Amino acid sequence: MTKFLKKANILFERLIILFLAVIFLISAWCVYDSWYVFEHTSDKNLLRYKPDRTDTAVQGEKVISDDMVAWLAVDGTDIDYPVMQGSDNTTYLNTDPFGDYSLGGSIFLDSRNSDDFSDSYSLVYGHHMEFGRMFGSLDEFLDVGYLEAHSKGTLEVGRSTEKIYHLDIFLAMRVSARDKEVFEPQENNIADFIEKHSQIKVDGNKRILALSTCTERDAVSRIVVFCYIID
């Protein structure tokens, strides 16, 4: 009996050690995964590819995919990224601007929009990442004071900046992912939607750009920041 108990204790101790080892490996992976995502979404090396920068890539370095259609920057925020456009709206959910797999994905233009932003309504998506990375700072615009202090931006269209537009941010709101007026840009009912759900009268002579991200609350809510595209 004593011999049996001894073996049982040894087996129990080994199982405990194995269990703790598994927990450690899972924790280590979670830490690495968080670090990996943060590093990729905060990679300032992307800025060297910005059209108005002079420190361009050297031979042998990665280059941004040909799917890049613009560069988006919002003054006073960390939003300063290339805008990609895939054949559908899943292409750049988990693909970085270099074409590599990345949980942080890319900032990307709706596949149904014209790549020159000539549509009356264009829609751009980005993940809501921690520390304001990607579109993680869009929820700040729900505060009117923050919006007024960060209401300007720039949209450089084309890989070689064929056109430069100024952005005038005028509204931020929570919407549902089921709101077709917002998430089906070809419907072109965005002005009616905005006027119905806010106190703002939309300037029908200006094109609108929407920046959209998910929220941390649920899978249906979205935060959308609306901008006028100024020629």
Nearest CA-CA partner of 51 in 126, 209, 157, 166:
157
Both 95 and 179 in a single domain? yes
Same domain, 68 and 144: yes
Question: What is each CA distance from 79 to 17, 93, 136, 196, in whole angstroms?
Answer: 46, 17, 9, 28
Query: What sign results for the dihedral spanned by CA atoms 168, 50, 129, 86?
Result: positive
Verify that 103 and 8 share a domain, yes or no: no
Looking at the structure, do residues 115 and 7 belong to the same domain, yes or no?
Answer: no
What would the pLDDT profile of 150-202 be if each residue is shown by its tens digit? 999 999 999 889 999 999 999 999 999 999 999 999 888 999 999 999 999 99
Domain containing 8 equals 2-41
Q: Are 58 and 73 within one domain?
A: yes
Task: Output 145 or 5, whichever has higher pLDDT.
Answer: 145
51: confidence class by pLDDT, cuts 50, 70, 90: confident
Residue 72 CB neighbours (<10 A): 23
The reply to whether 94 and 202 lie within a common domain is: yes
The domain total for the chain is 2
**In Å, what is the CA distance from 216 to each residue of 1, 32, 85, 95, 159?**
56, 21, 25, 21, 33
- Is residue 172 within 8 A of residue 223, CB to CB? The reply is yes
* CATH number of the CATH domain containing 52: 2.40.260.10
Average pLDDT along the chain: 84
